[in-house]
Structure 1
Amino acid sequence: MIELKFGRDALRLEVPEENLLGVITGNFPETPTEGEEREKLCRALRQPLGTPPLRELARPGERVVIMASDITRPSPSYKLLPPVLDELSAAGVRDEDVTVLFGMGIHRAHTAAEHERLVGEAVYRRVRCMDSTEGEYVLVGTSSRGTPYYVNKILTECDRVICTGNIDYHYFVGYSGGAKAVLPGAANYETIRANHSMNLLPGAGTGRLSGNPVREDIDEIGKFLKIDFILNVVLDEQKRILAAFAGDYLAAHRAGCAYLDTVYAHPIHELADIVVVSCGGYPKDINLYQAQKALDNGAYAVKEGGAILWVGACGEGYGEATFEKWVRESTSPKDLTERIRREFVLGGHKAAAIARVLQKADVYMITDLEAGAVERLYMKHRPPEALQETLNGVIAEKGGSRAKVWVIPQAGSLFPKLQS
């Protein structure tokens, strides 16, 4: 029996042995204890890559902004921030001079209760917490590719910028983490649109850094806005910290990406008729906008004309108004992929990304979303209790005993790489 995370719960699935190619999982080391997690963070902060330790960088009286991930991300800010604050305190920085800025991009605003839950009660009482969508944006420069870098003004008024977050695969940025905390995190719509429009260019894709125009455009922001220090982590399936990387925003990030590949890049030697993917549960399936990443990763493992069973609760619906608007206005998957080439619009790019997968394979979505919301996006809707029945039916359609199946329980993080 295979367990697939679904929201805050789990579903179970049985795949006949004759059909199962395998369960694609990460190459995980032993699960760390809480004490080991803390030690990994402290060691990374004491021995950073490419910079002095934070306690030697910062000075008394300096104002510090710490970028943190929003509620749609699995980054455990409540674990990352205490040791960072301890390092700043050791440098003589006062808590009242520290602001935690949540990188919202174009996501919805947080409630005060969500701020506290994200950083933990102790940190919430110590320092100011705010969303990056509060206040005004200022232009700090323009990239070599023409992206105007508008960021929250507070980043230009402080003395130190520290970025935190986790590193995952991203379907066009290549990898999350690093300067992505600032762009798209703390950038305005115009900046994010200009940057993300490059996802249609050659080189953009999962697991790509060199030659990826989107990632290179993100990293270039460091020429105009000094990112003094980062703390990035790689998480396991239980969202525990496997490894931590601190220091220079490029050097530490690249080291983290290399480590991620050893854990989450899974070589496969054939494509399947059917791929079953789970986003990995909450918050990766908080809404359809976020859950899309699992579908995209699953598409790397399926044959042309195959089928994907996409498991995601999506309790907050589509998760983004423009995304939903584009879906409602569309007439077919082809219509969406052609429209995004004519007019790149944030939100619309998610609809087009799903449409690209639909042009390769049939998609059955096992979800709490209402049927209409799924069918409007040209997918087949199934309730969570119908997962096993759905798989049995699709196996019969795809050749019975000859149909081959991959299962990816953490498809929001895991990258199946077809070997030539």
Structure 2
Amino acid sequence: SGGRKTLAVGAAGEALIAHTHGPAFIDDPRTRLGRIEGNPFHDAVTEAARRANLRFIINVVLDDEKRVVCVKAGEPVETHAQLVDFARSIYEVDIPHQYDVAIGGAGFPKDANLYQASRAASYLFFAPTPAVRPGGYLIIPARCEEGAGDGVGEQRFLTAMRDAPDIQFILDDARQNGYPPGQQRAFVMAKVLEQARVVIVGSETPDVVMDCKMTPVETMEEALALAARELGDKLDVLIVPHALLTLPVVVGR
């Protein structure tokens, strides 16, 4: 985030946002969190910012309490690269392998609705290597008292997830017809659910969770028991308390 994206997405029209968040970008295996070089999303927004004549930026890196811990100013590409290097030093965490289960905390206020809370699952999945093995479980504690969320994008996400007969339909429809901004979260989560099971713990709106093709349970014990029944009693579990601020990087491959 930041740098070229502040302009090329943050101040862009709906057409550019739809393009850069479209299925062709998300489907590309090079589009992964933490990957800069060769990432088609990065290349596209960098080019958009260049065409808009972005010449100077002042950007910061925040810690987990939203405190500024690094400030850089200057030419956009090099300045952003310096900030990326610093951000890696505080947010990337090496892990030895993929896990059977990853428990990811979304935290307040992201856990108030499913659109935002589901980011904890997709961030763990779209790490440079997914944090869980194929068929693994992504367990996210989230109250989701606001349901899917009330915004336009959040309602587009809910409608796309709820109205589709299955995950494959969401993927096929998006690849064939595209989607408006906001609805990309349905495509993202369909890609996650294609390879992993997403369990939401403690949701106050379990019907919404089910509508969105995820599994609601009341307790963490229930979630782990569900995983154990499918994957075996000796679960290999990764706990990521701040999943939106932590990038697990598999180093044992």
Cα pair 2:144 2:205 within 8 Å, conserved: no
Q: What is the aligned partner in structure 1 of residue 69 from structure 2?
A: 242
Whichever structure has more helix as a proportion of its residues is 2
SS for the counterpart of 2:66 is coil
Which runs of structure 2 are paired with 1:101-180 in the superposition (5 Å)? 176-180=1-5
Q: Which amino acid aligns with 1:354?
A: M
Q: What is the aligned partner in structure 1 of residue 250 from structure 2?
A: 418
Stretch moving more, 368-377 or 310-319: 310-319
Which runs of structure 2 are paired with 1:21-420 in the superposition (5 Å)? 176-197=1-22, 198-279=25-106, 281-299=107-125, 300-319=130-149, 320-345=154-179, 346-383=181-218, 386-395=219-228, 397-400=230-233, 402-419=234-251, 420=253
Structure 1 residues 218 and 271: CA distance shift in structure 2, 3 A:
same
- Uncovered stretches (5+) of structure 2, i.e. residues with no partner: none
CA distance in structure 2 between the partners assigned to 1:321 and 1:181 by the alignment:
24
Cα pair 2:8 2:49 within 8 Å, conserved: no
Structure 1 residues 255 and 316: CA distance shift in structure 2, 3 A:
farther
SS for the counterpart of 2:190 is helix
Whichever structure has more strand as a proportion of its residues is 1
CA distance in structure 1 between the partners assigned to 2:221 and 2:62 by the alignment:
29
Deviation track 1:247-278 (CA, whole Å, cap 9, x = no partner) reads 22222211111111122121211222111111
SS for the counterpart of 2:195 is coil
CA distance in structure 1 between the partners assigned to 2:55 and 2:14 by the alignment:
24
Structure 1 residues 312 and 266: CA distance shift in structure 2, 3 A:
same
CA distance in structure 2 between the partners assigned to 1:221 and 1:393 by the alignment:
45
CA distance in structure 1 between the partners assigned to 2:113 and 2:90 by the alignment:
26
Shift of 1:230: 2.3
Q: Which amino acid aligns with 1:309?
A: I
TM-score, scaled to structure 1: 0.53
Structure 1 residues 297 and 343: CA distance shift in structure 2, 3 A:
same
Shift of 1:381: 0.7
Rg bigger for which structure? Answer: 1
CA distance in structure 2 between the partners assigned to 1:408 and 1:390 by the alignment:
16
CA distance in structure 1 between the partners assigned to 2:73 and 2:40 by the alignment:
24
How many residue pairs match? The answer is 241
SS for the counterpart of 1:282 is coil
Shift of 1:203: 2.3
CA distance in structure 2 between the partners assigned to 1:316 and 1:231 by the alignment:
35
Q: Which amino acid aligns with 1:179?
A: R
| RMSD over aligned Cα atoms | 2.1
Structure 1 residues 228 and 367: CA distance shift in structure 2, 3 A:
farther
Shift of 1:397: 4.8
CA distance in structure 2 between the partners assigned to 1:407 and 1:286 by the alignment:
20
CA distance in structure 1 between the partners assigned to 2:193 and 2:19 by the alignment:
26
Shift of 1:282: 2.5
- Uncovered stretches (5+) of structure 1, i.e. residues with no partner: 1-175
Shift of 1:242: 2.5
CA distance in structure 2 between the partners assigned to 1:257 and 1:355 by the alignment:
29
CA distance in structure 1 between the partners assigned to 2:89 and 2:236 by the alignment:
26
